[in-house]
Structure 1
Amino acid sequence: MKTFMNFAIIFFCTVCSTIVFGQNVKTNTEIAILLKDNVNLSTLHYPKSVIQFYTKNESEYAWIDDMQKLDQPEIAMLLLEYSYRFGLSLSDYHWDSISLQKLKKLRDSPAEINQKEKAVFDILMTDALITLINNMHFGKYNPSYNSAYIDSNDINGFRSEDILLNARQQTDFLKTILEVQPKIKAYTDFQNYLNILYTENDCIAPEREAEKIIVNMERLRWIDTKETNYILVNIPSYTLKLYHQDDVFDFKVIIGKPTTKTPVLSSSITYFTTAPDWKVPQSIFIKEMLPKILKSPQYLENHHYSVYDKNGNQVEISSSKLKEIRQNPYRYSIRQSSGCDNALGAVVFRFENSYGIYLHDTSQKQLFNKDERALSHGCIRVENAKELASLILKNDGSGNKIPVLENAMSEYKRKDFVLKQPVPIIITYLTCLITDGKPVLYKDIYHLDDSLENKFNQNK
């Protein structure tokens, strides 16, 4: 809400002094011709979306001769001019060809003059706004969707040209456009911080801080969630936050080593299990455990591991069997039974993903005392996992199951807790967050910032 109010005040004051009374002349011929010209279309970032916009607008001017809502074109142009307040760049929005001054000039000129120039301007302004909408919603460098894909597809019901058409019908044009931004709290914190900073100083400093804010706002635009209840795991800060309505619950986590990175993803926790056994990933079994087993077969018993063949049958360990396992390790797997020294601890949280990772408790709780906790093979270990499980049950309307959970965890009894409403989980990589109103920078553990910063710097 602060974002909307700040911009509304700034734009309203500016627009009051810039409203121009144009002429309402329907001149759809020039626009229709230009939208059939491949050379003209090649200058647009989202040509298909622009064509759809004007098809639904009957090829009429959207900005040059708008008599119904005279302030909208000025607000739209000022929104583009203030794009830096969203960590974006004017150079992406045809600013070499459009401007507020040129808009006023073209609207002041007689209807029959400069028809082609007006049409070109109107189309470029539409493409600029569609580009801004897509940039604010999907980001500029979204790894899942490039501009061509966004231009050609309806992604989860989102079409930028429909957003723009709808905004033109609303009393609050600006708010409708700004609503396309992520609702996730980390993003709104960034946006509110930039609003305050620019309002007070009309600049942002230091530059390094600005770069971090920009790249991390971009990453948050890649997350597709409208939920108010969700779990956010941030890799660089080693934290997990459970958001439930207006409450936020914080947990420390251990994440993947740089050689076995925890992936960035979005999914939903559908259930969790107490007293899990651990099916050891083949890479860990072969590279890390097998040498220890070959050196001392007692390693298996000491850590409650069992070996299974490819048919799932448990095998007895002998010197001849160890020789066979060493020669053909991929024919075997290893599991650790539940218990106090199980690597997964007393509870594991499951969510669908292609990486085979999950959240889980741990028997090595002393590791949470470390400041830097990139220590796992990719899965995420949670401190106070019982508290997290209890909160998830409570928020799911199953608080009566908490005593059952506590008993199952303390006695290492296997039990599945299926959620009525899956909890969205977002694993992200934010090297900056706003804490107590100030930016806090985190170590770039996986060295992912440089490439993204370079993309933005090249386009300043």
Structure 2
Amino acid sequence: MKALLTFTIILCCAMITRAQDLKMTSEIASSLKDNVILSKLHYPKSVIQFYARNDSEYAWLHTAQKSDQPETAMLLLEYSYRFGLSLSDYHWGAISLQKLRKLRDAPVEINQKEKAEFDILMTDALITFINNLHFGKYNPSYNSSFIDTNEINGFRSENVLLYARQQKDFLKAILEVQPKVKAYTDLQNYLNGLYEENDCLAPQTGIEKIVINMERLRWINTRDQAYILVNIPSYTLEFHQKDSIYDFKVIIGKPSTKTPVLKSSINYFTTAPDWKVPQSIFIKEMLPKILKNKSYLTDHHYSVYDKQGNKVEITSSKLKEIRQNPYKYSVRQSSGCDNALGAVVFRFENSYGVYLHDTSQKQLFNKDERAFSHGCIRVENAKELASLLLKNDGSGNKIPILENAMAGYQRKDFVLKQPVPIIITYLTCLIKDGKPVLYKDIYHFDDSLENKFNQNK
């Protein structure tokens, strides 16, 4: 009889618990259909997907949950400023560590609607934090609506959050979404070190520069061990390999013809290239010189071609025709020691028509400020860079062929078996020898980004 009574009590308790669980599940499901609650979410579709895979159960206020993950998650949001992010983006008016503890410890049957809304807002806050860490907040390629709707390069924030909840080290699993680029890691470590020393730092220019440049690096996230990083404000190129970094000086676009920020891959490079002069340069800069001195073309090894690709003989009457209809003609410069592209050009797909190349004006690398081009990037020691690309590709045996082709201006294509990512970015602050170094904001890009962050503090 006593055994039967014990069994009945256990069964009743199980039924009560089950009924309470069903009630909690029902409250989450109904709250996710409430337009008022949905309108508060930054990533509503991601949140709905999260709970669909979590069986519509509480993620952070479940009474049976013994894990310290909810408090760890809340503290992560509270310390978001250590990542250059703002607490105001994470529903901090509606959620907090104190409120988490209060609702979690309250009787199960009390405040189910309030608990459900809190749980959902906390999930949205964490999904927002993950997306901000990975993509940045002001990503020019992906706004929050696009991120919420699409899987981008295999990344979905709700998947990250679901995965992190299954791991022993919840915090590490979340922070893994950050960029692996060394420039970002250096900035993050330096910023975190500042707050370790003084957790109540007053805003200052150095910190603001660190924050906006961490944001920019989130826009170009790469996981590759070998990549080329061109930084416009510092006039530098870095070739990163697993254990080495090779530095090169570069010449970048003038403020009137800016070098674009982009990410692509170098698939091949060509020795002794000819230069197809862009129409804008031909018409605005070159044509007046040709009209003034017809020998300008031959002096600089240029040839004029019609729309059919036929070489045009330059006469006085032809010059008059070219002046009247310049868009019907194009100009190329043959390979040689004075070719604008130098002895080698590195190609990568992009919508701007820019590329990386050698130059015949090597004396310009002696200048500290090197914004002289029409947008393309000229690199010093281009032969060394080409050799490093061949070595990285397992084709070091082709280096003598490369050197002979460059020396003799022989046209040859060198196709890489494994394309190398190239990142062209705009970083006005980098960590060098453990200290921040600020660079001149030559294109005046910093102000608008700083204003966005300052408005959101």
TM-score under structure 1 normalisation? 0.94
Residue 214 in 1 paired to residue 211 in 2?
Answer: yes
Deviation at 1:209, TM superposition (A): 0.7
What's 2:348 paired with? 351
Residue 236 in 1 paired to residue 253 in 2?
Answer: no
Q: Deviations over 1:240-290 (max 9, x none)?
A: 000010100000000000000000000000000001000000000011011
Deviation at 1:108, TM superposition (A): 1.2
2: CA distance between counterparts of 1:371 and 1:89? 36
2: CA distance between counterparts of 1:93 and 1:124? 8
Aligned-partner SS, 1:344:
coil
1: CA distance between counterparts of 2:335 and 2:91? 61
Which of 355, 360, 366 does residue 357 from structure 2 map onto?
Answer: 360
Deviation at 1:330, TM superposition (A): 0.5
More displaced, 243-252 or 109-118? 109-118
Residue 315 in 1 paired to residue 315 in 2?
Answer: no
Aligned-partner SS, 1:212:
helix
Does the 8 A contact of 2:180 with 2:221 survive in 1?
no
1: CA distance between counterparts of 2:99 and 2:136? 28
Deviation at 1:68, TM superposition (A): 4.5
| AA aligned opposite 1:455 | K
1:375-386 matches, cutoff 5 A? 375-386=372-383
How many residues were matched structurally?
A: 438
Which of 436, 446, 450 does residue 449 from structure 1 map onto?
Answer: 446
Which of 163, 175, 199 does residue 166 from structure 1 map onto?
Answer: 163
Aligned-partner SS, 2:228:
strand
What's 1:190 paired with? 187
What's 2:13 paired with? none
Does the 8 A contact of 1:306 with 1:334 survive in 2?
yes
Does the 8 A contact of 2:181 with 2:221 survive in 1?
no
Give the gaps of 5 or more residues in structure 2.
Answer: 1-16
Deviation at 1:203, TM superposition (A): 3.8
Which of 173, 182, 198 does residue 176 from structure 1 map onto?
Answer: 173
| AA aligned opposite 2:149 | S
2: CA distance between counterparts of 1:110 and 1:67? 12
2: CA distance between counterparts of 1:364 and 1:71? 62
Q: Deviations over 1:406-451 (max 9, x none)?
A: 1111111110000010000000001111111111111111111111
Aligned residues: CA RMSD: 1.2
Does the 8 A contact of 1:198 with 1:204 survive in 2?
yes
Q: Deviations over 1:191-235 (max 9, x none)?
A: 111121111122446611111111111111111321111000000
Does the 8 A contact of 1:241 with 1:251 survive in 2?
yes
Q: Deviations over 1:342-390 (max 9, x none)?
A: 0000000000001111000000000001111010000000000000000
2: CA distance between counterparts of 1:66 and 1:139? 34
1:186-335 matches, cutoff 5 A? 186-204=183-201, 207-335=204-332
Residue 399 in 1 paired to residue 396 in 2?
Answer: yes
Q: Percent identity?
A: 81
What's 1:138 paired with? 135
Does the 8 A contact of 1:236 with 1:444 survive in 2?
yes
Deviation at 1:114, TM superposition (A): 1.2
Does the 8 A contact of 1:72 with 1:168 survive in 2?
yes
Could you say which structure has the larger radius of gyration?
2
| AA aligned opposite 2:391 | K
Structure 1 residues 100 and 425: CA distance shift in structure 2, 3 A: same
Give the gaps of 5 or more residues in structure 1.
Answer: 1-22
2: CA distance between counterparts of 1:364 and 1:145? 39
Residue 47 in 1 paired to residue 48 in 2?
Answer: no
Structure 1 residues 436 and 67: CA distance shift in structure 2, 3 A: farther
Does the 8 A contact of 1:182 with 1:225 survive in 2?
yes
| AA aligned opposite 2:344 | V
2: CA distance between counterparts of 1:384 and 1:296? 34
Does the 8 A contact of 2:210 with 2:429 survive in 1?
yes
TM-score under structure 2 normalisation? 0.94
1: CA distance between counterparts of 2:400 and 2:201? 51
